Amino acid sequence: MGYRINTKCILSGYSPKNGEPRQLPVYQSTTYKYDSSVEMGKLFDLESEGYFYTRLQNPTNDAVAAKIADLEGGVGAILTSSGQAASFYSVFNIAGAGDHIVSSAAIYGGTYNLFNVTMRKLGIDFTFVSPHASEEELNAAFKPNTKAVFAETLSNPALEVLDIEKFASVAHAHGVPLIVDNTFPTPVNCRPFEFGADIVTHSTTKYMDGHATSVGGCIVDSGNFDWTQNDKFPGLTTPDDSYHGITYTERFGKLAYITKTTVQLMRDLGSVPSPFNAFLLNLGLETLPLRVERHCQNALKAAEFIRDSGCAIEVNYPGMEGSRGYETAKKYMPNGTSGVISFRIKGGRDAATKFMDSLKIAEIATHVADARTCCLHPASTTHRQLTAQELIDCGISDDLIRLSVGIEHIDDLLEDIGNALEASQK
């Protein structure tokens, strides 16, 4: 569809026919009825298309996945029950025991644990690189058994902006795809396929849902990566015994990767979202461009306000001129980055605590990226177990505050932040 993204957010994925429901129906059904066992058998052999069990496919989930695929400019997508499941499947679909992945070190803490602890137990090795690594440094991280490069377009919580073209070109030179987590910018602000990324993942829990109601995830396939260019991806290019010897690249072409994710990983691992959660996600998607625009406007004003208050040592908001990542963000997310900012408050941990406790609108919560403004002090919460040195190593000082700016009226927010900043310096 050639529409602009705001229109796609409303129209894509579901087109009711004459007399059908105008809003996407919730198909709250586990199973689907067929008139003959022959027909049903063909579905199990992937010889014909159709629904037979919601763990694999469900019409509500599929409509929402199709909308997200269209927003990203991909050929296909699958919803998962969480962002974590999306990250896991996106890598596990093409890597197994004995394989190796190059990953940016600036990734969500949950993803880091998934890779560095849990997936290592499955025999998959990871090398973590700086998101600002040079081409030489990136090249040096590859091994003969490397199967993918993984990174976040705008990292949570460090807010590092990825040079997508650089990471994509190095990955491609080594014959492997670039997988990026595009949760923070959303396709409204950044479409990584336009810069060479091959697979996109999302935690839809954040801006896409937008109201902190439903945990969910999504994987989108650009359809651009040629899995047959080398022998690194036998799971896609050689017969799958669990489907009577189907070869995904031969049977499904550009849809090989996403089809395998659905019919093999989702079949076997089953991290399927409830159709009702997909329905809620779809409501969120309808207003995503409006909300993201306001989040970015509010965050920029809040970042400038904090910078000019004299109460901060450093403000990190890549959407603000002079901030780290601003130049890269201008290229990859010219309309805005996200609503998340971080800053170091003058007066250390004490001031941080006073600031947090003085806020009235902004809530203390571990969530980010929904309609309500919320605030987190990583050193005393998410990173509480780390020693002073470990905190320094991962760039989290004890005066660092992360603020996820919501869509309340900016004047109310600035008043709240201003009062709390004043209280923090007493």
Ligand X SMILES: *Cc1c(COP(=O)(O)O)cnc(C)c1O
What residue ranges bind ligand X (CB under 6 A)? 82-84, 87, 108, 110-111, 152, 156, 181, 183, 203, 205-206, 215, 217
Integer Cα distance of 62 and 282 in angstroms: 11
Handedness of CA 87, 91, 93, 97 (dihedral sign): negative
Q: How far is the CB of 82 from ligand X (least distance, A)?
A: 3
Q: Of 216 and 235, which has the nearer Cβ to ligand X?
A: 216
Which of 110/418 has CB closer to ligand X? 110
Nearer to ligand X by Cβ, of 110 and 348: the residue is: 110
**Minimum CB distance to ligand X smaller for 84 or for 323:** 84
Which of 66, 151, 55 has the alpha carbon at shortest distance from 111? 151
The residue with tokens 């990136």 is: 138
Query: Among all residues, whose Cβ is closest to ligand X?
Result: 83
Minimum CB distance to ligand X smaller for 113 or for 134: 113
Nearer to ligand X, 32 or 128 (CB): 128
Smallest distance, ligand X to C-beta of residue 216, A: 6
In angstroms, give the least distance from the CB of 95 to ligand X.
18
Minimum Å gap between C-beta 245 and ligand X is 34
Smaller CB separation from ligand X, 99 or 152: 152
Shortest Å distance, C-beta 12 to ligand X: 22
**What is the CB-side half-sphere exposure of residue 348 using CA atoms within 13 A?**
2
* 31-68 per-residue burial string, b: 16 or more CB within 10 A, e: under 16: ebeeeeeeeeeebeebeeeebeebebbbbbbbbbbbbb
| Shortest reach from residue 85's CB to ligand X, in Å | 7
Helix axes 348-358, 410-424, angle to 10 degrees: 140
* Cβ nearer to ligand X, comparing 151 with 312: 151
Q: Which lies closer to ligand X via its Cβ, residue 203 or residue 282?
A: 203
Contact 128, 105 (CB under 8 A): yes
CB of residue 321 to ligand X, shortest distance in Å: 25
Tokens of 412: 């109310």
Q: Closest distance between ligand X and the C-beta of residue 156, in Å?
A: 4
Cβ 88 to ligand X shortest distance, Å: 10
Give the Cα separation of 112 and 385 in Å (integer). Answer: 16
CA 314/CA 343 separation, integer angstroms: 6
Q: Which is nearer to ligand X, 159 or 311 (CB)?
A: 159
Residue 279 CB, shortest distance to ligand X, in Å, is 17
Residue closer to ligand X (CB basis): 43 or 281: 281
Minimum distance of ligand X from residue 1's CB (angstroms): 27
